[in-house]
Amino acid sequence: MIMVLARAIVVWLLVIYLQTDLAAAFSCNTQNPSIANHEMQTLSRRSFLETAVTALLVATTTIPAKTNAVVLDSSQKAGTLKNLTPEEAEQRFIEGRQSVDYLLKHYSEICDGGGDNVRRYLGTVGTTSGLFGIQKAMKALAERADDIVDYTELSREIETTIQQADGSAYMAIFVTTSTSYTPPEKYFSDAKIEIERCAKSMDELASMIGLKN
């Protein structure tokens, strides 16, 4: 807001200056035959001011930096965003399924740590979950599927359940600081339903490509 106001003031000053300068140049031209030098000085001052204003506008304009949606911590070995070989993808998928299994078996305890704690196991917060970058693993394993259409649908189902569970876990955080009368437990329960669906879909996908968890 401050930058926008500053730029508006600078533009306004520029308009006033140019109007005043042009009026002075016209007056001098009608009264003094030796106007060439005065015009050159006026143009020089105008050029300087325009350059300064342009530089100021550029300096106060915020250009959004290009960022990645997630950051890969190379010190963690559970999840990954790099392109995987089929063997690596197989191991990643198994680790992802293990993360889901652990989450379900210790769900109440994990929920006690809050919504972000659940999201860490979903791979949507941090990089320590085996589900982090699971899309890469499923993509690399697609060539093993006899029915690519069914495989793609199952892959999308897995991604959707993770996203839905993540949204519910996030809402469990949100309601603790809002005036909502919906208790966090309701959202944790909704998230668990999606996580159970994720486990079922991952088992079906593993069976489809002959992968043993």
What is the number of alpha carbons within 13 Å of residue 204 lying toward its C-beta?
16
pTM of the model: 0.61
Largest CA distance in the chain: 96
CA 154 to mean position of chain CA atoms: 25
The secondary structure of 116-140 as a DSSP string is HHHHHHHTSSSS-STTTTHHHHHHH
Q: Is 71 helix (H, G, I), strand (E, B) or coil?
A: coil
Structure confidence at residue 81 (pLDDT):
58
Structure confidence at residue 178 (pLDDT):
66
Strands (E), the chain: none
| Nearest Cα residue to 81 out of 124, 126, 131, 136 | 136
Structure confidence at residue 37 (pLDDT):
46
Structure confidence at residue 51 (pLDDT):
44
| Nearest Cα residue to 93 out of 189, 170, 208 | 208
Tracing tokens 């993808």 back to the chain, one arrives at: 89
187 close to 169: Cβ distance less than 8 angstroms: yes
Tracing tokens 């600078």 back to the chain, one arrives at: 10
Left, alpha or beta for 129 (phi > 0: left; psi -120 to 50: alpha)? Answer: beta
Q: How far is CA 15 from CA 21, 55, 56, 153, 213, in A?
A: 10, 16, 15, 60, 71
The tens place of each residue's pLDDT in the chain, 213 residues long, gives 444 444 555 444 454 544 544 444 444 444 444 444 444 444 445 444 444 444 443 333 333 333 332 333 333 344 555 688 889 999 999 999 999 999 999 999 999 999 999 999 999 999 999 999 999 999 999 999 999 999 999 999 999 999 999 999 999 998 866 676 788 999 999 999 999 999 999 999 999 999 876
User: Terminal CA-to-CA distance of the chain, rounded, Å?
Assistant: 54
56 close to 31: Cβ distance less than 8 angstroms: no
